[in-house]
Chain A
Amino acid sequence: MPISEKVVISGYAETPVSRARTDKGEPRLSAEEYYAMALNMLLKQTGLDKKDLRGQGVGVAGAVWPHAEIWSAELVQNLGLEPKYLVRADHGGANCAALILSGMLAINSGYVDHFLVIGADAPMSVSGEGPRTWRYELDYLMPFGMMGPNSMIAMVMRRQMHLYKYGAETYGKISVTQREHASLNPNAYLRTPIKMDDYLASPMISDPVRLLDICIFVNGGLALLLSSKSSGRKITEKPVALRGFGSWHNPGSDESLQDVTVSGVVEASRQAYEMAGLKPSDIDFFNPYDDYTAAVIMQLEDAGFCPKGGAEKFLKETDISYRGQLPVNTGGGQLSAGQAGMVGGFHGFVEAVRQLRGEAGDRQVKDARYGMVTSLGGLAYGGCFINNYAFVLEGGI
Chain B
Amino acid sequence: MAKPLPEITSLTRPLWEGAKRGELLLQRCRRCGKHQWYPRPSCHKCGSLDLEWVKSSGMGTVYSFTVIRRVVGNAPEFSSDIPFVVAEIDLDEGVRVYSNVVGVKPEEVSVGMRVRVFFEEAGPEISLFKFRPAT
Report A's interface with B, CB cutoff 8 A: 28-30, 32-33, 35-37, 39-40, 43, 49-50, 77-80, 129, 131-132, 135-136, 138-148, 150-151, 154-156, 158-159, 162, 203-209, 253-254, 256-258, 260, 381-382
Contacts and interface: CB of A to CB of B under 8 A. Distances in A.
Nearest to B84: A145
5 contacts: A39-B42, A135-B7, A140-B98, A144-B98, A151-B86
A253 B45 CA distance: 8
Interface residues of B, number: 56
Closest 4 pairs (CB-CB, A-B): A80-B44, A154-B66, A36-B42, A382-B96
A142 B11 contact: no
A140 B4 contact: no
Contacts of A382: 37, 88, 96-98
Contacts, number: 171
A39 to B, nearest CB: 6
A139 B71 contact: no
Contact residues of B: prevailing secondary structure: loop
Nearest to B111: A162
B9 A145 contact: no
A145 B122 contact: no
A147 B74 contact: yes
A155 B66 contact: yes
Contacts of A33: 11, 41
A138 B7 contact: yes
B40 interface: yes
A381 B40 CA distance: 13
B30 interface: no
Interface in B30-48: 34-38, 40-48
A131 B42 CA distance: 16
Contacts of A209: 66
B94 A151 contact: no
A256 to B, nearest CB: 5
Contacts of B71: 147
B41 A155 contact: no
Contacts of A145: 3, 68, 74, 78, 81, 84, 86, 100
Interface string B1-19: 0011111011110000000
A206 B41 contact: no
A146 B86 contact: yes
Contact of B72 (A140, A144, A148, A381): A148
A153 B94 CA distance: 22
Centre residue among A35, A135, A139, A205 by max chain B CB count within 10 A = A139
A50 B64 contact: no
